[in-house]
């Protein structure tokens, strides 16, 4: 077989092979073409939908943080609580909102003023009585408990909520409960490797333990009369007034020695003399200085020595 025949056979075989492949591809597309197109469209739709949902989720998170900042600037704990409920599930925003609301409620309970009141010049209606203070403390504790019950809250915010709860328990007089909560803070910090936070929690527990021996101080108005300190007695002293002795015109005349004449004076003259004696006497004028003796004009001449 010549070279030309072999080359011709190769070309014919290649053409038959290419024709067979084209035929199989056409048959495959005829059988599964529509399903392949549907699968491709489904992949595209999934990708587009995922991208839209991701952008939507980021937008909601941005809106939640924006509302949190606005509520925090306003300083209204009720708005922060509402923000936590509205944006539930939006990252750390609900826990942050509730913790900040608890902080504002706790400050109001300690200061005795409603949230947002001017601490320097409060209005009478902004002052809280004892029932109002307890109500603020209860609302603060409710927000802290909500953070502790939220399994999706970050661990750092949960630790802050525990610190707040310990402070609330200590303010209410439950020192043992506050120490137990701080023990949870120390254990959680140890598990997470936060050594500095663990040390601070242990210091806080030591300080709280010392408070158990401190006697509470009550205002004097709340104590019974028997427990109040006696009021100091201030003696009223009046400066002495010099009394003018009364003059009896009928008093007997003192016997004078022989040869001395005693003159009887009237009461008016005696009173005038006494008044003159009570008047301040002027200071005596200083005596004039004696001038030094004038030296002789011409001193005597010295006598010659023999």
pLDDT digits (tens, 9 = 90+) for 16-51: 555 555 676 677 667 777 777 778 888 888 888 888
Q: Is residue 55 part of a domain?
A: yes
pLDDT of residue 98: 92
User: Is residue 306 in some structural domain?
Assistant: no
Domain total in the chain: 1
pLDDT along the chain (306 residues), means of 10: 53 53 68 76 84 80 86 88 86 89 90 85 87 90 91 88 89 87 90 88 86 66 66 60 54 57 70 70 57 52 50
Give me Rg for the CA atoms of the chain.
Answer: 54
In a domain, 7, yes or no: no
Cα 259 to Cα 48, 147, 252, 265, 267: the distances in Å are: 146, 117, 19, 19, 25
In a domain, 295, yes or no: no
Measured CA to CA, the distance from residue 283 to residue 300 in angstroms comes to 47
Domain region containing 69: 51-152
In a domain, 2, yes or no: no
Query: Would you state the pLDDT for residue 55?
Result: 80
pLDDT, tens digit, 9 for 90 and up, residues 58-109: 888 888 888 888 888 888 899 999 988 888 888 888 899 999 999 999 888 8
Is 102 part of a structural domain of the chain?
yes
For residue 267, tell me if it sits in a domain: no
pLDDT above 70 as % of the chain? 64
Phi-psi region of 193 (alpha: psi -120 to 50; beta: other; left: phi over 0): left
Residue 119 lies in a domain: yes
């Amino acid at each position: 077989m010549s070279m030309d025949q072999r080359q011709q056979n190769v070309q014919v075989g290649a053409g038959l092979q290419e024709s067979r492949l084209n035929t199989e591809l056409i048959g495959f597309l005829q059988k599964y073409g529509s399903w392949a197109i549907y699968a491709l469209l489904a992949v595209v739709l999934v990708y587009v939908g995922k991208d839209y949902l991701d952008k939507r989720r980021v937008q909601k998170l941005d809106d939640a943080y924006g509302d949190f900042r606005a509520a925090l600037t306003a300083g209204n704990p009720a708005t922060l609580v509402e923000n936590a409920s509205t944006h539930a599930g939006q990252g750390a925003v609900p826990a942050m909102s509730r913790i900040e609301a608890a902080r504002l409620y706790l400050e109001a309970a300690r200061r005795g003023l409603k949230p947002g009141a001017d601490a320097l010049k409060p209005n009478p209606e902004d002052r809280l009585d004892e029932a109002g203070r307890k109500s603020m403390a209860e609302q603060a504790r409710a927000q802290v408990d909500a953070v502790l019950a939220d399994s999706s809250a970050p661990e750092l915010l949960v630790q802050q909520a525990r610190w707040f709860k310990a402070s609330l328990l200590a303010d209410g007089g439950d020192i043992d409960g506050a120490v137990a909560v701080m023990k949870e803070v120390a254990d959680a910090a140890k598990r997470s490797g936060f050594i500095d936070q663990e040390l601070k929690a242990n210091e806080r527990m030591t300080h709280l333990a010392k408070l158990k021996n401190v006697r509470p101080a009550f205002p004097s108005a709340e104590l019974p009369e028997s427990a109040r300190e006696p009021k100091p007695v201030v003696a009223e002293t009046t400066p002495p007034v010099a009394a003018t002795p009364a003059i009896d015109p009928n008093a007997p005349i003192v016997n004078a020695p022989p040869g001395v004449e005693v003159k009887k004076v009237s009461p008016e003259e005696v009173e005038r003399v006494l008044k003159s004696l009570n008047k301040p006497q002027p200071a005596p004028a200083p005596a004039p200085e004696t001038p030094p003796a004038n030296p002789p004009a011409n001193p005597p001449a010295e006598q010659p020595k023999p």
